[in-house]
Structure 1
Amino acid sequence: MYYINESEVPSYDNYRTYKIRKGDTLQSVASELGVEAQELRRYHNMRCNIPDLIEADFKSYLELLILAPEDIEVTTSSVETVRKRVVFGSKAFTIPFYPININNSYKVKYAIEKGDKVKKIEFDVSVKWLRADKNGICFFEIDRLSKVLIDGSEADTKVDVLAEMASSILYPMQVVVDQNGNWIDIFNYQTIKERWEDEKIKVLDYYDGKQVLRYIDAIEYTLRNEESLLKSLSDDWFLKVFFNGVHTCYGSNLVIEKDTRFSIMPKKAIVNTDAEQKIEEYLDASNLIVIKQNGEFTDEDLKEKYLIDDEIAGYYSAVYSLNPNHYSIEKIALECTLNIASPRKVTIEIRNLNEKKEVAIASRQSIFIAEEKKKDGFFKGLFKRY
């Protein structure tokens, strides 16, 4: 279940809706209403909240299906005549990573489900482009703009307060990102380590006891060198999801296979899948580029880790919405499930908080592409890791 405050969720009262009953499927409802299943899905997805998007079928928590007005016949062909096609960069079927001057703030929400228990985490973060080298390697600054809220409240237990104090030393964090938008390294390791020396004094003044000393030892072990810190952050959900390589070439079929690795529980259950990454040919109703990742997985390593005999299966799904003018990320919705004895599920929502601006498409984006071509060597050259 996606964690969204009720005040942020648009009401469906203004739409004609169908109340989903137990046992309903997309196909059965389509047959009952005499409408093609793909039309039901398309019309609903153009108007629903991101967490309510329909993929292969209804999500278990979905209560209402948005229907087209009875007096309007909606067909795919009529929609495509008014919807705008995605305009790619100067290279065919490629979404370029061109983040110059990006300085956005995002609302980040996690919902972590284990069986019947749900833990919700929320914070605000900024993403600022700093510079790039001649090979297209980019440097970004990531900063926390708010305290972390756990189930709607600030940290109040000793463990959570310690975690908040320890995580504060990471920010602002400077990260290194490759030409396809994958984050690959931390750039300001020495600064982070120096921050910890100051924060450690505050921690010792605030708390004492063996538990605190063990916590400090664990942090110092993580900060012992650059490789250790990078490994510790390798499954950080925000870094992993936001810088996830969606800026790439999709080919004439607009789809690629992507080896996806996701930690459904930090440092524990890591699942792998060959996900399908597909870019929609047309902009959505909000004039945004839509890129979807979908994959199923079974993992023998997890069977051994959890000591269970049943087959482990799960599903990974993510929807990226990009600004069509400069291809920056506007919002992300991700869901990953793991079906074991006590089912695990993670949902992630990332949404741009900057003042909403009308997304206007320049004719063939000639201005953007001309600017891109001026920097002929920007994306060229051999990959270098810092």
Structure 2
Amino acid sequence: MLNDLLIYQIKTNDTLTSIAEEIGMSSQELLNFHNSNCQKVGLLWFNGLAGIEKIVIPKNYKSEAQIRKEIDQSLPSQNLAPAFFAASYHCKESFLNAGEKTMNLEYEVEVALRENEEESSSGLIASVKCFSFKKDGRTPDDKMSELSISCIDSINPLLFDVAIGGTIKGIPQFKKLAETFAAKRIELEDFFTGEVSQKYMDKFAGILDNEAYFLSQIQSTLLYQLLFPKMDFFYQRKAKLEPFCPVKNSFPADFLFETTYEHVSEQHLKTIMSGKIAEAISLPELLRGRRSGEEPEEALEAGIILKYTTDKETKELQNAKALITLQQDGELYKEQHIELRKN
């Protein structure tokens, strides 16, 4: 800490204001700085310069405006760009429900972003592929898990219409998903036999026939909310209400988010977005996926923390984390973690 301090020798005609202006501080900021640090270098506390020969000044002072400018220059663009994503990430997820054992998932995520070439669109097309799933450190070997993964693989990679501002807004050529699965289902049925497997594939095919439902599933999944945030989140200077889905297949609730920053290194900046639920809804409403329209007897307590580590120069996403906690009556109901780390 002493390396950040300098001892300044008072000269004739010096005033607290003139010294402060040279540094880029206000006189009150300089006074407070000296009085907070003077004992570290053996100097006295003071109220004015009368009779004072030396004061403590900061070695490398930066005003709030300077700090904010440096942060803004280090942040990704407010318009999502292909350079924001690395080619692939390793993903870890954990799910903790009250009274149950924590479930841990690991998988790989490949991401590619390109301009939408349609003349009528000003957005982007994202390609996302999730694969190499592991559950609690092992490749799932039960039939239903294998079937679920095989169904997902059959339509990989997924394509999304993404707004310039960052969020998923649609599924391009959605009908092709159903056609692709129908073609590959023939092979799946040769391996996954039996009534239970048939019912599962019927259900999966049904989801691919309902574009609105499929899109709501994607938009409410924590992975995709983390991967495709509103890019202006990174620039919020004040607390702001934003919608977020804390439960998959449910409605977005209003959360009050605040954004802070941490310089991880000279190369990397961490942006931290912390949100608390800002509307009165109950846990049953959220689990049902629809609001009752009535004031709940016990309002849900919910919190979200999103953390993004980006390269200051290239603006590329290096690491992203999310934590969701849901509490009812002061007791934990659910906790979900997810982390994406660049490969």
Q: TM-score, normalised by structure 1?
A: 0.60
1:201 aligns with 2:186: yes
Match of 1:70 in 2: none
Supply the distance in 2 between the matched residues of 1:199 and 1:80 (Cα, whole angstroms): 63
1:302 aligns with 2:283: yes
Supply the distance in 1 between the matched residues of 2:157 and 2:72 (Cα, whole angstroms): 34
CA 1:196–1:88: 2 relative to 1, 3 Å: same
Supply the distance in 1 between the matched residues of 2:169 and 2:106 (Cα, whole angstroms): 25
The structural deviation recorded for 1:195 is 2.3
1:317 aligns with 2:297: no
CA 1:295–1:314: 2 relative to 1, 3 Å: same
Supply the distance in 2 between the matched residues of 1:129 and 1:301 (Cα, whole angstroms): 37
Supply the distance in 2 between the matched residues of 1:80 and 1:260 (Cα, whole angstroms): 38
Match of 1:110 in 2: 93
The structural deviation recorded for 1:271 is 6.4
The structural deviation recorded for 1:221 is 1.2
Supply the distance in 1 between the matched residues of 2:124 and 2:310 (Cα, whole angstroms): 18
Is the 1:165–1:199 contact (alpha carbons within 8 Å) kept by the matching residues of 2? no
5 Å-filtered alignment, 1:269-308, equals 272-280=253-261, 283-297=263-277, 299-303=280-284
The structural deviation recorded for 1:207 is 2.4
Is the 1:103–1:129 contact (alpha carbons within 8 Å) kept by the matching residues of 2? no
Instruction: State percent identity of aligned pairs.
Output: 14
The structural deviation recorded for 1:311 is 4.5
5 Å-filtered alignment, 1:17-28, equals none
| Partner of residue 259 from structure 1, selected from 217, 242, 249 | 242
Please list every run of 5 or more consecutive structure 2 residues that lacks an aligned counterpart in the other structure. Answer: 1-57, 289-295
Is the 1:250–1:279 contact (alpha carbons within 8 Å) kept by the matching residues of 2? no
Larger % of helix: which? 2
| Partner of residue 330 from structure 1, selected from 299, 318, 343 | 318
| 3-state SS of paired residue (2:79) | coil
Q: TM-score, normalised by structure 2?
A: 0.67
Supply the distance in 2 between the matched residues of 1:80 and 1:124 (Cα, whole angstroms): 43
The structural deviation recorded for 1:323 is 2.2
Paired positions, count: 269
The structural deviation recorded for 1:202 is 2.5
Supply the distance in 1 between the matched residues of 2:281 and 2:72 (Cα, whole angstroms): 42
| 3-state SS of paired residue (2:230) | coil
| 3-state SS of paired residue (1:285) | coil
CA 1:166–1:179: 2 relative to 1, 3 Å: same
Match of 1:35 in 2: none
| Partner of residue 105 from structure 2, selected from 105, 121, 136 | 121
1:343 aligns with 2:333: yes
Match of 1:137 in 2: 123
Is the 1:176–1:185 contact (alpha carbons within 8 Å) kept by the matching residues of 2? yes
| 3-state SS of paired residue (1:349) | strand
The structural deviation recorded for 1:275 is 2.7
| 3-state SS of paired residue (1:320) | strand
Q: Which amino acid aligns with 2:144?
A: V
Supply the distance in 1 between the matched residues of 2:206 and 2:325 (Cα, whole angstroms): 31
Supply the distance in 2 between the matched residues of 1:107 and 1:334 (Cα, whole angstroms): 14
| 3-state SS of paired residue (2:267) | coil
| 3-state SS of paired residue (2:132) | coil
| RMSD of equivalent CA atoms | 3.3
Match of 2:79 in 1: 97
| 3-state SS of paired residue (1:153) | coil
The structural deviation recorded for 1:279 is 4.7
